[in-house]
């Protein structure tokens, strides 16, 4: 009984520290770039957009050029990176709970491959149009992700009545098929090969305020559904039969969780390309801090994923100026050693058992 206040205090401290750190990282990332903006000015520009703030007074000593750089160019990119990172981390928590496997990843659903296939079609066949500042590549990527989600569900339903194993196998099969199709398109359109490959590595260089708004809406909806299902996801970790005996509607919970995760991953991949390992690294770090309860783990992973992704994106655009490194390459360099550590940890756990 004495441990519960400590858990609550730890959770509050972790959430508070991560929230403050996220604000600092957002302001810092917006200030850093080919043209440096003082941290104080970056903070003023961000604060000036808050309600009940006298923008004219607070921005009196800030040059107009810096306002344009921060608000119109860098801040949309920083916020989009944070939303995508937080979304992928939250999706990773849910996938690991559903599959009862700490190595589960949202990409096993095949949604990422579907988005990549859609983007590859738009690039390879030169389909170019823009609607409200959003390019055809985004539309095709999101459409590909959603169609793949429907295909995976359909295959899983026909094969195994939409069980966890059925969804997993259907996702892997669809992902393999789409990856092969992408490879063929790249070989048939060698002049577009580099563009397709760079998109698949992930980047936030095409960030716009419209994409930020779209991603925010999807993220809020998905995370709220995750938190509502938090208790049921905790009970699912004991197995389907045990969860059902404790009043959980297993099929309903799984369907809502997978659909929400798929929508979140589809939105994330469509605006940024394929970015790996975030959904593995962050949930494990947060789980070590606050334990396995999903209602605690999901919001903290959201904050941690946002911080991690903003930091990776900042490295990607500042490490080798004026060129840019694909942010997906940075997360892979960071995540691969951590993934190997998790494999080793799981092996040691299996040997002890």
Q: Report the C-alpha gap between 219 and 268 in whole angstroms.
A: 9
**Would you give per-residue pLDDT tens digits along the chain (353 residues)?**
344 444 666 777 888 899 999 999 999 999 998 888 999 999 999 998 888 888 888 888 888 899 999 999 999 999 999 999 999 999 999 988 887 777 777 777 788 888 889 988 988 888 888 777 678 888 888 888 888 888 887 887 776 555 667 777 888 888 889 989 998 888 888 888 888 888 888 889 889 999 999 999 999 999 999 999 988 988 887 777 888 888 888 888 888 888 898 889 888 988 888 888 898 889 988 888 888 888 889 999 999 999 999 999 999 998 887 788 889 889 888 877 877 777 777 667 666 65
| Sequence-separated (6 or more) residues with CB below 8 Å from residue 318 | 32, 33
User: What is the pTM (predicted TM-score) of this model?
Assistant: 0.88
Nearest alpha-carbon partner for 335 in 293, 297, 290, 279: 279
Mind listing the domains of the chain with CATH numbers? 3-352 (1.10.3470.10)
């Amino acid at each position: 009984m004495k441990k519960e206040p400590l858990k609550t205090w730890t959770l509050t401290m972790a959430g508070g520290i991560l929230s403050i750190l996220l604000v600092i990282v957002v302001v810092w990332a917006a200030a850093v770039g080919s043209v440096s903006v003082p941290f104080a000015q970056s903070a003023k520009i961000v604060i000036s957009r808050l309600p009940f703030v006298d923008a004219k007074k607070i921005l009196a000593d800030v040059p107009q050029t810096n306002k344009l750089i921060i608000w119109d160019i860098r801040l949309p990119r920083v916020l989009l990176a944070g939303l995508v990172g937080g979304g992928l981390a939250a999706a990773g928590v849910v996938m690991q709970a559903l599959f009862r496997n700490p190595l589960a990843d949202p990409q096993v659903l095949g949604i990422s491959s579907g988005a990549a296939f859609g983007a590859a079609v738009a690039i390879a066949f030169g389909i170019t149009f823009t609607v409200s500042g959003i390019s055809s590549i985004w539309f095709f990527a999101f459409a590909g992700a959603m169609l793949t989600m429907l295909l995976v569900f359909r295959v899983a339903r026909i094969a195994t009545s939409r069980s966890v194993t059925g969804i997993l196998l259907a996702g892997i099969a669809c992902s393999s098929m789409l990856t092969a199709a992408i490879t063929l398109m790249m070989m048939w359109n060698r002049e577009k090969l580099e563009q397709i490959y760079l998109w698949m590595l992930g980047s936030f260089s095409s960030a716009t305020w419209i994409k930020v708004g779209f991603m925010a809406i999807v993220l809020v909806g998905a995370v709220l559904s995750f938190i509502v299902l938090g208790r049921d996801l905790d009970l699912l970790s004991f197995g389907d039969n045990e969860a059902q005996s404790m009043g959980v509607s297993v099929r309903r919970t799984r369907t809502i969780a997978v659909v929400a995760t798929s929508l979140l991953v589809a939105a994330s991949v469509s605006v940024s390309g394929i970015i790996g390992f975030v959904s593995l690294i962050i949930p494990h770090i947060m789980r070590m801090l606050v334990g396995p309860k999903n209602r605690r783990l999901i919001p903290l992973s959201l904050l941690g994923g946002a911080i991690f992704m903003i930091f990776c994106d900042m490295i990607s655009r500042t490490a080798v100026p004026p060129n840019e490194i694909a942010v997906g390459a940075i997360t892979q360099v960071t995540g691969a050693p951590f993934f190997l550590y998790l494999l080793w940890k799981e092996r040691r756990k299996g040997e002890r058992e």
